[in-house]
Every structure is written in C-alpha cells, then in structure tokens.
Amino acid sequence: MSNFKRIPNGSVTTPRGFRAAGVTAGFKRSGAPDFAMLVSDEPANFAGAFTSCTFAAAPVQVCRKRVLTTDTIRAAVINSGNANACTGETGLANAEATCVLAANKLGINPSDVVVSSTGRIGTQLPMDTIKKGIELAVAALSDDGGRRAAEAIMTTDTVPKSAAVELELDGVVCSIGAMTKGAGMIDPSLKVPHATMLCYITTDVKISNLLLAEMLSGNVADSFNRITVDGDMSTNDTVIVMANGLSGAEVRPGTANAELFRAALLQIMQQLAREMVMDGEGVTKFVNVEIFHARTREDAKLCAEAVANSLLCKTAWFGGDPNWGRVVAALGYSGAQFRPENVDIFYDGVPVVKAGGDAGTPEEDLVDIVRKREFSVTVDLHDGDESYWVWTNDISYEYVKINADYHT
C-alpha cells in the first residue's frame, strides 16, 4: 500500500486500542442517545483546537487547560443536550467534576480526561444525569462502539458522521478514525490551542504533541475553518486528536511519513467537514465558493466568506434563483480590494458575469445549475495570484423552523 484508503464503516474505534460507547443518559426528552465516551487503552498524546468565541463554554476552558498542562490523556466524555456554556463558576466546576467522575470509574487520573458538551446555552448541567451517563457508558465501552458514540453526540444532525482511513508507514498498517457532529451554529474559527461542531480524531500512530498540534492547526485551516452553514460561531467548537502509538509506527517531523500522515489526516477532516455542510439544518444545496486571482489571500478570503454567508445568496440558491446580483453585492461589501470592471463569475464553469456585467448566458441555463443538489460559484477577480475556497449551503424554510423551535 503506497498511499491511504478509506475504511468502509470506519469510526473512532477503528485504530488499535480505542473503545467507545454511546448511551441514553436522559439529556434529551426524545430518549435518543445523548452521552458518549471515548477511551484509549494506553496514554495518548493529543492536540486540540477550540472556538475563538469570547463566551467559550466551560468544557472548552477545561480542554484548553489540558492541552497546555497535560502530556497525555486517556478519555473523552461528551454530552449532547446541554452546552454548559455561560454557566459561570458552577458550570466550570461541573465540567471538572465530570472529569473526576469519569476518571474514578475508569481508574485513571482526572487530568487524563477531556470533556465536551453541546446543546442549549445557559443552563447548568444536571449532574445526576452526568453520573448516570458515565456509569452506563463505562459499562458499554466496546472496540466497535465508535458508530454508537457518533450517534450519541448528535443534536439537530440527521445522520451520525464517522470516518476512518488506513495507511502504511514503514511497512506497518495503521489508521486514523474520527467522528463529528454539527448541523447548525456552524461557522468555526478554531485556534490551536486555545464548532456547534465537535470532532474527535483517533490514531494508533506514535506522534509528538508538538507535531500533532502543528498538523492539526494547518489542517483545521483547510477543513473546518472553510465551512459555514449559517455564519454563527458556537461557544463549544472543539477538535481533539488522540494518538496512542499502539501500531508501532512513528511519525517524525520532516519525514515522508509525516507528509503522508498529514495528508491522510486532512482527507478525513475534509470529508467530515463536507458531511457537516451537507447535513446542515434544512440544507438542500451544497455550494462550493471559489475565489481566484485576488491581490492577497485575505482579499480572497473576505470575498469567499461574504458570498458564502450572504442570506440573500443562500435564499436565492434555495429557490433555484441564479440572481448573480446578490453575489456581486456580497463581493462589493466584503471589504476586499479589487477592480469591479475586471470581475468574472461562473456557475459550474458557465459564465454569469463578464468584466463586471452580465455575461449573456440565458437564465434558463443558469436555473438548471442552481437547482442541482451541488454546484460551484467561481469568482475570478483578475487582480493578483491568491485564491481561497469555502463550502457552504442554502437557507431553507426548515432552517428557520428548526431554530425557531429549538428553545422549546
């Protein structure tokens, strides 16, 4: 095997030495699974990336501390249905207490545990429910429990999201597994170390915390930080990577193994990022927004994000309306520097705008494109050499309904 390949039905328990569980603790009135646990049989090196929201949730604060003060971890505890955000000192104490309760059940140190929460903001964690979840999850831990764990961390997601890839390093077959959740409140700006999206990644490769953090930072910039569902950043966005080394394969800086591992890690992160957009709340369209030939990378980014987050663009896409005026308006208010008279725009390669004006393509041809499940909006600024892309979606009636009813 010279490269890496996707493992069908892979999950966070695909790599050696990882067990997981997904159980119903009682956070959700529906009775759906709402509590997950992920455990490494051996101490795992780790790295994390977290929301840059000033109102970072209590579990995010705990995880940040772990990244800065702890060499290895053994377990992650994740509840769905309560974000434990904006809960003050009590919320922080409850997040730490969750780690203690899990550690006691697992026979490890509290500092070996990280914690994540997702759900409603501003309500305290029901600690009796946490205790129940921990007891049930520890009893249910299994080396094939990754798919159930992915189901248990869902909120408004419609499908669980798991993936795994296999690669060969120095003749040793090893793997990377992952699970993520996120369908709304998705516009991450993750920093290392400091979505709602949660992502847990596991690998049986041996790799240092420093190199893992460097890879995570670069790959986040080209995956989770390139997606937006609704332009709203969460208080709880978290990505954690755990590496327990049980395959025996090692990744060192500046080697071919490092580049192969980095590429495999990026593939799995991009796959899950794409799945999050496809499963966004009420989403009917996946839209790839690409900007080319900008003066600076920042100009390209400003343009891409302005189009990707424009409610007028998103609602036009939902309605199958090729109204390119909304795209040029978003470009114009983006703050980017460019010459309007140079701009060309394409839908799936078909010219829409030429030299800043109507390209003359019949509207019915453009309607056929924007009514597809997936299409691209490409902008050529003809003003430099920089580029940037963002994955986004439309906004539908269902999105409004989900978020209007979410509180109750």
**Nearest-5° Cα angle at 15, 12 to 16:** 130
Q: Tell me the CA distances in angstroms from 73 to 13, 60, 113, one per residue in order.
A: 16, 15, 6
Count of C-beta atoms within a 10 Å radius of residue 365: 12
Full DSSP string of 207-266? --HHHHHHHHHHHHHTTGGGB-SSS---S--EEEEEE--TT--B--TTSHHHHHHHHHHH
Using CA atoms, how far apart are residues 233 and 53, in angstroms rounded to an integer? 7
Using CA atoms, how far apart are residues 390 and 276, in angstroms rounded to an integer? 13
The phi, psi pair for 391, rounded to 5°, reads -100, 130
CB 78 within 8 A of CB 37: yes
**Nearest-5° Cα angle at 397, 312 to 28:** 125
Question: Of 220, 227, 222, nearest to 199 (Cα)?
Answer: 220
Active site residues: 196
**Nearest-5° Cα angle at 290, 232 to 351:** 125
